[in-house]
Amino acid sequence: MMKMNLERLAYFVDLSETLNFSETAERMYTTQGNVSKQIAALEKELQTELFTRKHRQVTLNTHGQVVLLSAKKILNEYQEMLKNLEAMNVQSQNQLFIHGIPSFYRYRAGELIGNFHREFNQYQIQFQEVETTQLFSDLAENRCQIAIYRSFGKVDLNKYQVIKVDQDHLVVALHRDHPLAHHKVLRFSDLADEHFIQLGRGSMYLSLVEEKCYQAGFTPKIDYRGHRLEVLIDLVAKNLGISVVMAKTVQHPDVVKIPLDEEISSDILFVRKKDESTPLLELFWHYLENKLG
């Protein structure tokens, strides 16, 4: 009996869109060689070629077009099955699923979650760190019931219930011996010759930092883009560059925080969907309202 490999189907569907092994490798976070291996294995499994390879060009052949229709349907149904299962898990009465920004523990949000869990220890809280850009899709697809979100006021939150838990603002993080460390205030134009160490696109404020640098007349030299705040601050502490980060996320004896002349602030929010309710979700939400009221 044939065993269908969903991973191979995913590579096939992506390659049918890009018609480029290198581009598919980049999109699937793998190597070009692995893409070729997966496609070859699928063609062997189905006992037919799916692509025409000629003059270094790739096109989907007739057999491939037939397989593509079924492959998309199979993958869509598999994702729908996972979504339904996740929704069932989220509805579990004794579990609360919270997804939040990786730096949530630097704010009062972490303290509130911990205190609630100690007070109502008969319930289970499942917490997962995710990038800011993923939070609303997680809410929409029922992977979580509550999101801890950093808002710069650019996202419409009218269809959600929101509780503000904290506030923060951007600063320049520097090694204490850096030539700019003695300044009381810095402008973005002061940073034109610096090497930046920044969180990646998922943090949302990389694009904001880049925009401010462009407005100041230069393109920032970003030497490092990462996902872990601790790594970023450690690199700054080793004097390998500077970083424009949120003030409350910087806690290192060798790193100083210099305010920017233009205050760029953000709110830390608890966010939930208006149309979803469970007894535990309501209990937690009322707890937040009472503590932050």
Q: What is the pLDDT of residues 28-42, one digit of tens each?
A: 888 999 999 999 999
Give the separation between CA 197 and CA 202, rounded to whole angstroms: 15
* Residue 164: per-residue pLDDT: 94
Residue whose C-alpha is closest to residue 90's, from 149, 138, 154? 138
| Spatial CA neighbour of 47 closest among 68, 67, 23, 75 | 67
**What does the pLDDT read at residue 59?**
93
Q: How far apart (Å, rounded) are the C-alpha atoms in residues 127 and 134?
A: 14
CATH of 167-266, one of 3.40.190.10, 3.40.50.10470, 3.30.390.30, 1.10.1740.10: 3.40.190.10
pLDDT score recorded for residue 246: 92
pLDDT of residue 134: 87
Domains 6-92 and 95-165+273-292 share a fold: no
Class of domain 95-165+273-292: alpha beta
Instruction: Report pLDDT for 1.
Output: 46
CATH number of this structure's domain 6-92, picked from the four choices 3.10.330.20, 1.10.10.60, 3.20.20.10, 1.10.10.10: 1.10.10.10
Pairing of the two strands 160-175 and 255-259: antiparallel
Per-residue pLDDT tens over the stretch 82-117: 887 777 665 566 889 999 988 888 899 999 999 999
Report, as ranges of residue numbers, the positions in the chain whose pLDDT lies below 70: 1-4, 88-93, 202
The candidate with the shortest Cα–Cα distance to 250, out of 269, 236, 260, 270, is: 236
Question: Exposure pattern of 164-186 as b/e (b: 16+ CB <10 Å)?
Answer: ebbebebbbbbbeebeebeeeeb
Residue carrying structure tokens 């319930």: 123
Q: What is the pLDDT of residue 2?
A: 54
Domain ranges of the chain: 6-92, 95-165+273-292, 167-266
